[in-house]
Chain A
Amino acid sequence: MKTVIFSIILLLSQVIASLEAENLEVGKELYPFESHDSEVRFNRLLEDYRCPKCQSSNLAGSNAPIAMDLKLEIYRLVRAGKKDSEITEFLTQRYGDFILYKPPFQSSTYVLWIGPFVLLFLAMLLVLAFKRNQQNKGADRNIAELKRQLEFDQSNK
């Protein structure tokens, strides 16, 4: 009797084990999110902040301990519903503007953000001014040429 029960248990456990093998377990996300939008926002934020310890890397691309800590912190803040500006504020209060890969838009950085377009605009103006100058010279030359032609014709009448 005991052997029968024992064999049944053994058999059952095999069956259960094989069933479990069929149902492959699913991996655990490191940063699970309820909403897809939050996850997208999180991933984007990780690319916008600089790893303070690395020579040149964002948080997304770094395995440095401080980067991992900050990733976790930002994860918590995103899950807590904090806005981008609040997370940026949190980080800059502790690490300064250095941690932002997108420099803030303020009077000391206007030249960076607006400079290229001002430069392009000024260059265009310069070019168009040159063109008009050149066209005028060209026109003057044509008039001078015509005048000469006229005088030549008249003197040869």
Chain B
Amino acid sequence: MIPEIGHLLLIGALTVTFIGGCLPFYEFVSKKYYSQSYIRPFSILTTFLVTGSFICLIYSFLVDDFSVAYVATNSNTLLPDYYKFAATWGAHEGSLVLWILCLSLWLVGYMFSKNNVNDSFSSITSAVMNQIIFAFILFTLFTSNPFERLLPFSPLEGGDLNPSLQDFAFTIHPPLLYMGYSGLALPFSLAIAAMITKNIDSLWASSSRPWSLLSCAFLTLGIGLGSWWAYYELGWGGWWFWDPVENAAFVPWLISIALFHSLIVTERRGVFKNWSLLLSILSFGASLLGTFLVRSGALTSVHAFALDPERGLFILGIFTYFIFGALLIYSLKNTKTQSESTYSLTSVEFGFLLNNLLLVVLAISIMFGTIFPLLYEAYTNGDQVSVGPPYFNVLILPFAIGLGFLQGIGLFLGWSGTKDFSFLNRLVIETLTVLIVINTLLYFLFGSFSTWSLIACLLFAWIVSGNILDVVINKRSLNKIRSFLSIRLGAIFAHLGIAFLVLGIGVVSTYSSEKELLLSVGESYDLDGYVFEFENMSVKRGPNYIAEVANLDIKENRKTISLSSENRNYLSANQETTEVGIVAHFFKDYYVALGENVQGDTWSFRLQVKPFVRWIWFGALLVAIGTFISSIKLLRKET
């Protein structure tokens, strides 16, 4: 009964969004306005219907209703309740309902962010959002219905949630990520509205900016969590692999950053209108493209969803309709403005322009590199090639340096042009100071220098100097510092976040230690000064698994740290996973992955020491905090 209700609610939402997606356009074109106050109530109704449907799905999981095919495939009676809850979005069909829910939340958020939504601009925005929601519901109902039933013979027991997904980070990674992906629909819709109602102006830019920032914040958290999860779950100590699914999230993230920077310029100076419009379209386009790549089976990946060309075709259709439509409107519109303010090459406008360029070209290059193997195979009629980390790591470096450079000087440049370049001297001195401090620290901790980490340290020093250090040193008066901070708080957090991220990456890439070896109980190994001792093996029973646990002691100087790594056998599907043993410290992580039982009491292990790896996610967190702060500040100004 409940699944049927869920199904019906979704159909209801389909109907409401159909009307909500068409009516405002009809009104705008025919100039016949109905009781316009319907768009806000409609958005609330849609959200209720979708939420209700989602709750029905969750309920089916929690009561082990295996007559629902989706529940039977992805859940199990032994699964703990909180994972049953998360299994709702553990696979393709359910994750789509989550997508739709996120879209509805953004829509209703927008509706309540303004006092008055009765103008054509807001109603067209709402209409586009409704169309997007409609398209996704249509896709779900037609190709990926989570409420399909296995009747009359429903299984007594389900498959299981993939063991590597039975994990805390997994439960919150998709919702955050989807909030980010779907959030970009709002700047997209606002851009369409601006073009259609011919309101391409500062007002549009200022209303679009907080939503771009907020989407970026969610994407940052989602990507950061994904990276952290991969680190402790996959067992080989890596945290980013340039996997197609990772790139599918990284590309929209990059473009969204270009977007909200470009919107600053459009809002303040009335220029970059075309850039801002195009970026609004491209960011959501990248989001849809990512969805396509991940769910169509075109690309295989560590965690691509259900692979099905029919679904791929449908998503391609959605992608084409919205992005082709948007680009068509974009090419037809006219942005001849009366007063184009000019700016010089030393202006902050030009800095933002370079910023846009670097981010967009990087994003396009990453996307190109991701689909290149497919293009290559088609073009050479069968030859296969792979594009992986060695390529992407080389690609991103010059862009990172260019963007990092801009991040350091950005706050010093003036609108239209910069007259006072005295900041450069100060910046260089401050950078060198920080650089020497950091390098001394690294030498003290790890005993060597490295060119690659030097570049990372340089970027770190430069960004830190330009965003906080110089202000504190130069402004002198506490009041001035405080006012500076209050205006730029979000930006400072975000830029510092990038600095820490870059430093973490640089250090962990050059100073890590690792060793694969065999250890018998009682044996120990000295890895670059850290002594790992294999204490014993024990057995552990979990709610739905049995584990063999290896307990180790690590001695560094005089301290002893314990950690354990285990091999889990999940009883339901007889799947095995390894849980890595990690002890996290401020300056390093100890990382142990249990391997196989080679014979008797001898096991294979992979031991690692990963310096500064936490700084990567700390940096990501700062970026998310910064973008959140900025977006909330802007939203409060609007209401």
Task: Give A contacts to B, CB under 8 Å.
Answer: 21, 24-31, 43, 47-48, 50, 55-58, 60-61, 63, 96-104, 108-109, 112-113, 115-117, 119-120, 123-124, 127, 131, 134-135, 137-138
Hey, what's the 0/1 contact readout for B255-268 against A, CB within 8 Å counting as 1? Answer: 00000000000000
A112 to B395, CA, bound (A): 10
- Residues of A near B364 (CB, < 8 A) are 116, 119
Given contacts A98-B384, A119-B365, contact A30 B604 (CB under 8 A): yes
Identify 12 new A-B residue pairs, CB closer than 8 A, beyond the known A30-B516, A55-B300: A27-B524, A29-B515, A29-B517, A56-B244, A61-B235, A61-B236, A61-B241, A63-B595, A98-B386, A102-B388, A103-B386, A119-B365
Instruction: Name A31's closest neighbour in chain B (CB-CB).
Output: B516
Q: List 29 A-B contacts (CB under 8 A).
A: A24-B523, A26-B525, A26-B526, A27-B518, A27-B524, A30-B516, A47-B390, A55-B302, A55-B304, A56-B241, A56-B243, A61-B238, A97-B385, A98-B384, A101-B387, A101-B389, A102-B390, A108-B379, A112-B387, A115-B368, A116-B361, A116-B362, A116-B364, A116-B365, A116-B395, A124-B357, A127-B357, A134-B342, A135-B342
- Residues of B near A124 (CB, < 8 A) are 357
B358 on the interface (CB 8 Å rule)?
Answer: yes
In the complex the two chains form, is A120's CB within 8 Å of B361's CB? yes
A112 to B358, CA, bound (A): 17
- Residues of A near B236 (CB, < 8 A) are 60-61
B632 on the interface (CB 8 Å rule)?
Answer: no
- Residues of A near B45 (CB, < 8 A) are none
Name the distance in Å between A14's Cβ and chain B's nearest Cβ.
18
Hey, what's the 0/1 contact readout for B363-403 against A, CB within 8 Å counting as 1? Answer: 01100110010001001100111111111000100100000
Instruction: Name B342's closest neighbour in chain A (CB-CB).
Output: A138
Instruction: Name B398's closest neighbour in chain A (CB-CB).
Output: A117
Name the distance in Å between B32's Cβ and chain A's nearest Cβ.
41
In the complex the two chains form, is A120's CB within 8 Å of B358's CB? yes
Name the distance in Å between A136's Cβ and chain B's nearest Cβ.
10
Given contacts A26-B525, A108-B376, A112-B372, contact A97 B365 (CB under 8 A): no
Name the distance in Å between A23's Cβ and chain B's nearest Cβ.
11
Hey, what's the 0/1 contact readout for B220-253 against A, CB within 8 Å counting as 1? Answer: 0000000000000011101001011000000000
- Please pick, from A100, A108, A127, the residue contacting B353 in the complex, using a CB distance under 8 A: A127
Given contacts A56-B244, A61-B236, contact A30 B391 (CB under 8 A): no
- Residues of A near B533 (CB, < 8 A) are 24
B109 on the interface (CB 8 Å rule)?
Answer: no
In the complex the two chains form, is A112's CB within 8 Å of B391's CB? yes
Q: Which one of A50, A115, A135 has the greatest number of beta carbons of chain B within 10 Å?
A: A115
B520 on the interface (CB 8 Å rule)?
Answer: yes
Hey, what's the 0/1 contact readout for B514-535 against A, CB within 8 Å counting as 1? Answer: 1111111011111000001110
Name the distance in Å between B563's Cβ and chain A's nearest Cβ.
16
Name the distance in Å between B286's Cβ and chain A's nearest Cβ.
16
- Residues of A near B358 (CB, < 8 A) are 120
- Residues of B near A99 (CB, < 8 A) are 386
- Residues of B near A43 (CB, < 8 A) are 514
